[in-house]
Amino acid sequence: MPFDTWYCVASCCGTAIRSGHGLAERHWDPSGKSKMTGRFTPETERFLSRLEDDFRITVPDIRGIISNFHREMKKGLAGEKSSLKMIPTFVGRPTGTEKGEFLALDLGGTNLRVLQVALEGKGSARRGAAEMFAIPPALMGSDGERLFDFIAACLAKFFPKNARNVCRHCSLAFTFSFPVEQVSLVSGKLIGWTKGFTAAGVVGNDVVRLLEEAMGRKGIGFVHVAALTNDAAGTLAAGCYADSACDLGVILGTGTNACYPEAIFRIDKLPGRAFSGGEMIINMEWGNFDRVAATRYDQILDDASENRGKQLFEKMVSGMYISELARIIILEMITRGFLGNGANPSALTSAYSLTAKQMAAAVQGRDFFADAGIPDASVADRAGVREICRIVSRRSARLAAAAIAAVVSWMDAVLDGRHVIAIDGSLFEKYPGFQYEMRNVQRELYGDKADRIVLKPVHDGSGIGAAIVAAVASSERN
C-alpha cells in the first residue's frame, strides 16, 4: 500500500505492527494524539509516548506560533531587532508577460548550477542548456576568494560548451540561497553562512562584488549580474509567472525559507520607500524564527551545530536537520537498550550520517538498518525507528503549515481570497505523508475555508524563477 494511503488510513483507524515482542498497535484519536497499546516493551512504549508528547504541535500551539510570527514580522519590517529579517528584495511580482533570455547561476547547497532560461511570455518559461558542478567540501570551509574563483571557473566552463547561444546570454540571475542583507537588486551582504558553509572573508561582504571580481579574474567580466535573489524569491516568481493568485514562495528541502509580496507602506525600514509599484517581495529568512518551544533533542542538535542559537526554526523543519534529530533519538534508544539488541551502529555515530531520504524509506517500511551497522534489526526495531521518523517529520510538517498560515493570515486576516502557495523542495515533494499533514493543519485551522489555500509544487525556482526575477527587474528599470 502506498504510504500516503497507509498514513491516511492509520490516522483515521489506527494501524498494527506485529513484532517479535508481541503486537505493537497505535491508534489516533481526533486530536491527533497517537496512543500505543500492545507490547513493544514497556520501556520502549513509554519512551515513544514521551517523545510523541514532546514533539506534538496542537492547534493552540499553532495559533500561538501565528501570533508570534506576526509580531516578529512587524518588528522585522520596522527595522527593529527580530528573528525574522524581513529583507527587501527591491523587486516586485511578475505579471507573466515578461520575456527575454538569461543565464542563471544557482548556489544553494553542495552543488552549483549554471543554466540558460528563455521567458516567452504568457506564463511560459523554457529551460535550455544546464550544467551541474559539485562543490568540493574543502572549498565550503576555505576562504571566500577560493570559493568564488571556483564558482566563476564553473561559469567560464559553461561558455565554450554552449558557444552558439552564449553571446546573447550575458545577463545573469544570481541565486545565492543564504541569508543576505540586500541593499539593492544587485548588491547584498552575507549575514551568515548556513547549510555547512563556513568560507572565511564572505560574511559582511557584498556577494555580487565577490562574484564579479572572480569573473574578472577568470576572463568573463563581460557577464552582467542583473539580479541577486534566493531560491524562495525565485520560487515565488515562478509561481506568480504561471498563476497570478500565487502570493507566497516556500522552500521545504535541505533548508527552509519563504518570500511574499508586501505593501510598500508597511515596510517602514525601506529607505525613502522609493520603489515603483505598490508592493515589493520580502525575503523573510524564516528559518531563523525562534519562537517555538524546543525539546531536549533540539537543544542537543543546536549545541553541536556550527551556528548555535541561529536558524532554530530551520533546525526543526528542514530535511538537513530533521534527519539529524532522528539520528540523535535513534542513537539514544540504542544506547539505552531499547533498539538494536546492543548493536554498535557505527554508521549512526557520525553527525548528519542519517538522511531525510533514509527517514522516508523507514516510514515506508524499507530497511536502511544494514547500512547503519545493524544488520540483524528486528521487526520491533524497524517499528520503533519508523515511529521516531514519523513523530519528527510530523512536527516538521505541522510547523511548516503553521508558518504558511501565519503569512497568509498576515496578508488576508479572514481568508477572503484564494492563495496559491508555490513550494519547492524534496521534503515537500517526496517525503511520505508530509503534504497530507500540512493540509490537515489547514483543515484544523480553517475548516471549510481550507481549500482557499492551495499548496502547489513548483520546480526550479532557483533557476527559472531567478531568471524571472531578473526579467522583472529589467522591466522595472525600463
For residue 358 the three cell numbers come to 533514509
- Evaluate whether 173 touches 102 at the Cβ level (below 8 Å): yes
> Per-residue DSSP letters for 18-51?
EETTEEEEEEE-TT--EEEEE-S-HHHHHHHHHH
CA 91-96-101 angle, to 5 degrees, is 80
Out of 34, 177, 305, 462, pick the active-site residue: 177
> Per-residue DSSP letters for 174-186?
EEE-S-EEEEETT
Out of 93, 113, 382, 386, pick the active-site residue: 113
CA atoms within 13 A on the CB side of 194: 27
Told to judge if 268 belongs to the known catalytic residues of this protein, a careful annotator would answer no
Q: H or E stretch including 284?
A: none
Sign of the alpha-carbon torsion through 45, 50, 52, 53: positive
- Evaluate whether 151 touches 107 at the Cβ level (below 8 Å): yes
Residue with cell 528563455: 118
Distance CA 42, CA 59 (A): 30
Residues near 307 by Cβ (< 8 Å), separated by ≥ 6? 192, 193, 194
Out of 206, 231, 381, 460, pick the active-site residue: 231
**Sheet order of strands, 256-263 included:** 87-88, 279-283, 256-263, 246-252, 419-424, 453-457
Told to judge if 231 belongs to the known catalytic residues of this protein, a careful annotator would answer yes
Residue with cell 571566500: 144
* Residue 401 identity (one-letter amino acid): A
End-to-end distance of the chain based on CA atoms, in angstroms? 55
SS3 100: strand
Q: Which residues pair with 167 in a beta bridge?
A: none
- Evaluate whether 190 touches 205 at the Cβ level (below 8 Å): yes
CA atoms within 13 A on the CB side of 451: 1
Distance CA 27, CA 177 (A): 41
- Evaluate whether 411 touches 247 at the Cβ level (below 8 Å): yes
* Residue 329 identity (one-letter amino acid): I
Dihedral angle, C-alpha 16, 18, 23, 26, nearest 10 °: -20
Told to judge if 50 belongs to the known catalytic residues of this protein, a careful annotator would answer no
For residue 191 the three cell numbers come to 549575514
Q: What are the counts of helices (DSSP H) followed by strands (DSSP E) for the chain? A: 16, 16
For residue 423 the three cell numbers come to 513550494
Which residues have a catalytic role annotated? 113, 177, 231
